[in-house]
Amino acid sequence: MDRIKKEGEIRIPSGCAISGIFSKQGNRFSGQTAIDSIRVMHNRSNGLGGGFAGYGIYPEYKDYYAFHIFYMDSIAKKECMDFLEAHFDMINLSKIPTRKIPSITDEPMIWRYFLSPLPTKLAESQLEEDEYVARCTISVNSKIKGAFIVSSGKNMGVFKAQGYPEDVGDFYKLDEYRGYSWTAHGRYPTNTPGWWGGAHPFSLLNYSVVHNGEISSYDANRRYIEMFGYKCTLQTDTEVITYMIDFLNRKKKIDLKRVAHILAAPFWSTIDRMNDQQKQEYKYLRNNYESFLVTGPFSIIVSYENGLMALNDRLKLRSLVVGEKDDMVYMASEEEAIRVVAPKLDSIYFPKGGEPYIVELEKEV
Amino acid sequence: MIVNLIQSEYEVIRDQNRCINCKLCEQQCSNGVNYYDKKLKAMLSDESKCVNCHRCVAICPTNALKIVKSQHCFKTNSNWSHHDITNIFRQAQTGGVLLSSMGNPKEYPVYWDKILINASQVTNPSIDPLREPMETRTFLGKKKLDIEFDENNNIITKTKPQMELKIPIMFGGMSYGSISYNAHKSLACAAEKLGIFYNTGEGGLHEDFYVYSENTIVQVASGRFGVHPNYLKAGKAIEIKMGQGAKPGIGGHLPGRKITKEVSKTRMIPEGNAAISPAPHHDIYSIEDLRQLVYMLKETTNYEKPIIVKIAAVHNIGAIASGIARCGADIIAIDGFRGGTGAAPLRIRDNVGIPIELALASVDKRLREEGIRNEVSLVASGTIRSSADVIKALALGADAVYISTSALIALGCHLCRSCHLGKCNWGIATQIKSLSDRLDPKEGCENLVNLINAWKREIKEMMGGMGINSIEALKGNRLMLRGIGLSEKELEILGIQHAGE
Amino acid sequence: MKKLTVNHMSFKQLNSLIRESSDNVFELDDVHGQRFIAAGMKNKKITIKGIPGNALGACLDLGSRIYVKNDCQDATGDTMNEGEIIICGNCGDTAGYSMRGGKLFIKESAGYRAGIHMKAYKNEKPSIIIGDTAGSFLGEYLAGGTIVVLGLNQNGKCPVGNFCGTGMHGGQIILRTDELPNDLPKQVVTRKAKKEDLESIKEIINQFCDEFSFDKNTIYNANFYILEPNSTIPYRQHYTTI
């Protein structure tokens, strides 16, 4: 019998649940909150993928790049370790501690490293630190078979697996981590993804994206962003969206609000009704960045070191709710996912299609 | 004794019961096929002169006429077709290069017909274009990926020059001289009404059409006919014609008899003098010369117009396009081997060049591999026959398409491929006033507007079916296509999977 | 009256309890996003504290009433046949999809795509009343019935989003506002409400006010517009036969 193609060899459409929780003051709270939130959206997933991104979880190592890596076998591990040693100073390495959960099985080797680019190699490359790390990450993921760098940012990490998200959170002992920003994702793929790398969030450097929906512009976006050194090895919507945000925000230094207006550009009929100054600006963005336009239903939560951004497609075909209480901001696909962790809210808001909702740290952490 | 080696391929069949001897067919046929025989008191036809243009059939008030393939035949021979044999007769008699018009009619694969389009279901919704927004507006030109901000953090919105189109379809270059004044007027007028562009072709721009400037692409071909600074400024974009799909590598020849007073004025050459377009531009012998010409035109027009470079689809088209993208061109127009023409040597038309589908796919891929896809927009042509072809072209990687044969058909052309004779009964490919008067520019314009509007509706339906509501998301979106009946290699070049995958 | 503390009971278990009980009146406490509550329910009444999950009261039937003291989520009243759903807060997207009868009252705002393809038949006259605003695509494909948006916190500003009434071919959308949406399709025709129009919706508006203790005078003392399908310009694709 032919082996069923794995995620990345083919493209697997899916639907999902997303959730995000953020402390504006940078107060760190347990990952259990994110688990409790995503648990109530159990019906939006089918147990074939779940994951979390936590920020502020490694304060003792906050100046180093925290790599979370999956290894399918020891050969992959050796190859990857060789690569890392050739390119980085390894400050610390260990297996990521996990719990035995009956519903989470067949796990790969899961390791964590705190790294700093090797000064000589970095100087030789003439790249900025972040770009150097990004290229190494993409290189490992596209070239070393069986090794997958799950996250590569500072003072943050992505924890994902095949299973319901609440079980995944349990598996990774997220109740023992504390961070100021958590996002969670539960997946409903239409066939077996085959391996853990395909679960969400997808992350590169300090960006991580959780995404609900399926975009029809995928191949137009992918074939464009791959011109700039990115490799879409997983063939997921989340991956291509993350790369586009990294490119526009980090490399082209475009602020996130404008990035949102590129990804979810308003319709021409709306642009034509704007005042001259705005019209010129939106027309410029829409024309020059036409291949970054995302069509099809989506709601995404983007985490980065300073905040969270929630964004819906222009027709708002997926649901998204935002709630605030004192210092905390909550975002989720369903209101209940917010109420279950924050029954009383100061305000509740339903972002419109194409309108970004951005919340940022009010002080340094 | 006269030996007639060449027999007519077609016969004119007249139903004498229906024929009322109105003689319209005699009056309308510029080739003198139909005539009234006084002795027999009936209309007869001399099929040896018939080019199968259907003019007589179309205007007969009683539908008495039809053109059929003659049953006169050679012995069946899979190696020697009727054309192969009679063309040798012709060349033996005349010693001449066989001349033909319009596009390659031979049986090579038409890849458009082997590509299927996706539709969304279950995992992704389709969109109803009648009730929800569906956008076809697009821009051609260089895309800038860096943003500059002013002191107030507003974006500095200056870009390289762009062309704005309401729908990514334009009318391709057909020179005034190869087609009539009325045909040009129809195209210009329709381009304006539709918010798209038409292309002057290499025959210059008639002064009457300067009024359509905002929707005109002016072409600079090897003969530089009618190219003067006002001409350049009159276009919204300038197209350097390096080649065309119908006759890659060779030039053009408009015979002296087609250089009428108006054509002469527009081309700025003496009346009755043949208009020869040399094979290469004789000042472009290498890619750096092309760069020089591109910048010469940009300087002359103060960098206000995007420069299009039109090339024929030939071998190694990827590398050629890459070179053009790096020499300052804003847009590359690729013309496939099926492209039409007013006149071209038969053997070149039918044997030189490659299909646009393959050329487009490999150019788009190559430019992305080199990281320069945003430096140019791509326009595909040769042949786009329907809205489905347009969708497939965009998904393969085109930013827009040119249509020429389709436009002429909308004006009445029946693809009889006799343009080089200059006696087009439909008033399109002729300079004879009595014939070109038959094409009413007002009606012609309306027909073209109808055609593009109909295609626009169909494109929106297909986009909606794919769950796409803005045309940008279709560009280069190869996953929306699947091949059927294609080899591994063909699929690989097209960059699409096979149906079922 | 039966009191149930729902907590994290599965929706299947909860609905089963309601269905099989001989009681007809329920008070559900601590509801936590359970889906499909009261789906197909007939002749029973429920009060809900907490956030019900998606598809509350789907296919709701004759004699039923659901009263929610908080917000509710997407697909509320999906394909509702009869009965009443009263929400003392906001509702999510796609409320009242294909509603065929009954009343859906939302005290605050509705999300996108409320009242899509709502239809009336014989004696069935479904209605949706929204207290504040409704998102884009309100009443898309509306085939019958009445949708009212009151804009109570909008100070006369337009209380609906974009693409209101696109595809509408029956029924009415009534907006309490000083400004109409500026992107109505030409298939929709608008006019200022006449006395008879307001008379015809008086009963449901009064009930709405009573449910949420709104002052009737404040509501009626404002501009109302009626949006109806323009029968002279139907939606039509321009076809040509081959």
**Tens digits of residue pLDDT in A202-254:** 999 999 999 988 899 999 999 999 999 999 988 888 999 999 999 999 999 99
Strand partners, C148: C129, C174
If you average pLDDT over residues B339-366, what whole number do you get? 95
Interval B379-393: pLDDT, tens: 999 999 999 999 999
User: Which one of the listed residues A16, A80, A136, A232 is annotated catalytic?
Assistant: A16
**Residue A268: inside a domain, yes or no?**
no
Q: Say which of C235, C238, C240 has its CB closest to residue B131.
A: C235
**Residue A209: inside a domain, yes or no?**
yes
Q: Is the pLDDT of residue A9 over 80?
A: no
- Using DSSP, state whether C199 is helix, strand or coil: helix
Chains that touch A (3 or more CB pairs under 8 A): B, C
Residues 6+ apart with CB under 8 A from B148: B155, B156
CB contact under 8 A, A316 and C92: no
| Summary mean pLDDT of chain A | 92
For CA atoms A232, A5, B115, A264, the dihedral sign is negative
pLDDT at res. B227: 86
| Summary mean pLDDT of chain B | 94
Q: Is the pLDDT of residue B496 over 60?
A: yes
Confidence of residue A69 (pLDDT cuts 50, 70, 90): very high
Inform me whether the C-beta atom of residue B13 falls under 8 Å from chain C C-beta atoms.
no
d(CA B124, CA B108): 37
Q: Say which of A269, A340, A352 has its CB closest to residue C135.
A: A352
Name chain A contacts of B479, Cβ cutoff 8 Å.
11, 218-219
Provide the token pair at A301: 């939560």
**Residue A242: inside a domain, yes or no?**
no
CB contact under 8 A, C237 and B133: no
pTM of the predicted model over 0.90: yes
CB contact under 8 A, A297 and B124: yes
- Using DSSP, state whether B312 is helix, strand or coil: strand
Best residue in C230, C238, C241, C242 for a mutation probing chain B (most B CBs within 10 Å): C238
**Residue A77: inside a domain, yes or no?**
yes
CB contact under 8 A, C166 and B132: yes
Interval A79-130: pLDDT, tens: 999 999 999 999 999 999 999 999 998 899 999 999 999 999 999 999 999 9
Confidence of residue B104 (pLDDT cuts 50, 70, 90): very high
CB contact under 8 A, B133 and A218: no
- Using DSSP, state whether A266 is helix, strand or coil: coil
Provide the token pair at C242: 């081959």
Write down how long chain A is: 365
Residues 6+ apart with CB under 8 A from B452: B167, B169, B190, B194, B196
pLDDT at res. A12: 65
Provide the token pair at B305: 């117009």
DSSP code at position A4:
P
Q: Is the pLDDT of residue B253 over 80?
A: no
Q: Is the pLDDT of residue B332 over 70?
A: yes
CB contact under 8 A, C141 and B131: yes
Q: Quote the distance between the C-alpha of residue B173 and its chain's center.
A: 7
- Using DSSP, state whether C224 is helix, strand or coil: strand
d(CA C73, CA B141): 46
Long-range contacts of A98-102 (CB under 8 A, 24+ apart): A98/A171, A98/A172, A98/A173, A99/A170, A99/A171, A99/A172, A99/A173, A101/A163, A101/A167, A101/A170, A101/A171
Which residues in chain B (273-302) have CB-CB distances under 8 A to chain A? none
CB A215 within 8 A of CB A298: yes
CB contact under 8 A, C167 and B133: no
CB C81 within 8 A of CB C97: no
- Using DSSP, state whether B481 is helix, strand or coil: strand
Confidence of residue A1 (pLDDT cuts 50, 70, 90): very low
Phi, psi of B431 (to 5 degrees): -110, 5
Provide the token pair at B453: 């509007």
Q: Is the pLDDT of residue A3 over 80?
A: no
Write down how long chain C is: 242
* All domains in chain B, ordered by first residue: 10-96 (3.30.70.20), 169-473 (3.20.20.70)
Question: What's the CATH number where A167 sits?
Answer: 3.60.20.10
Name chain A contacts of B369, Cβ cutoff 8 Å.
227
Count Cβ–Cβ pairs < 8 Å, chain A vs chain C: 59
**Residue A230: inside a domain, yes or no?**
no
pLDDT at res. C237: 82
**Count of C-beta atoms within a 10 Å radius of residue B288:** 10
Q: How many CA atoms lie within 13 A of C56 on its CB side?
A: 30
Name chain C contacts of A319, Cβ cutoff 8 Å.
73-74, 92-93, 111
Q: Is the pLDDT of residue A2 over 60?
A: no
Inform me whether the C-beta atom of residue A316 falls under 8 Å from chain C C-beta atoms.
yes
Best residue in C30, C36, C73, C76 for a mutation probing chain A (most A CBs within 10 Å): C73
pLDDT at res. A4: 58
Which residue from C minimizes the CA distance to B454? C238
Please indicate whether residue A16 is annotated as part of the active site. Answer: yes
Range of the domain at A61: 14-214+299-360
**Residue A267: inside a domain, yes or no?**
no
Question: Into how many domains does chain A fold?
Answer: 1
If you average pLDDT over residues B241-260, what whole number do you get? 84
pLDDT at res. B382: 94
Which residue from B minimizes the CA distance to C169? B131
Interval B285-327: pLDDT, tens: 788 889 999 999 999 999 999 999 999 999 999 999 999 999 9
Mean pLDDT by 10 residues, chain C (242 residues): 91 93 94 93 95 94 95 95 96 95 96 95 93 96 95 96 93 96 93 94 96 95 95 82 80
**Residue A2: inside a domain, yes or no?**
no
Interval B171-203: pLDDT, tens: 999 999 999 999 999 999 999 999 999 999 999
CA distance C153 to chain B (A): 28
pLDDT at res. B278: 82
A50-55/A181-189 β-pairing:
antiparallel
* CA Rg value for chain A: 19
**Residue A318: inside a domain, yes or no?**
yes
DSSP labels, B244-256 = -TTSTT--EEE-G
Confidence of residue A187 (pLDDT cuts 50, 70, 90): confident
pLDDT at res. A190: 65
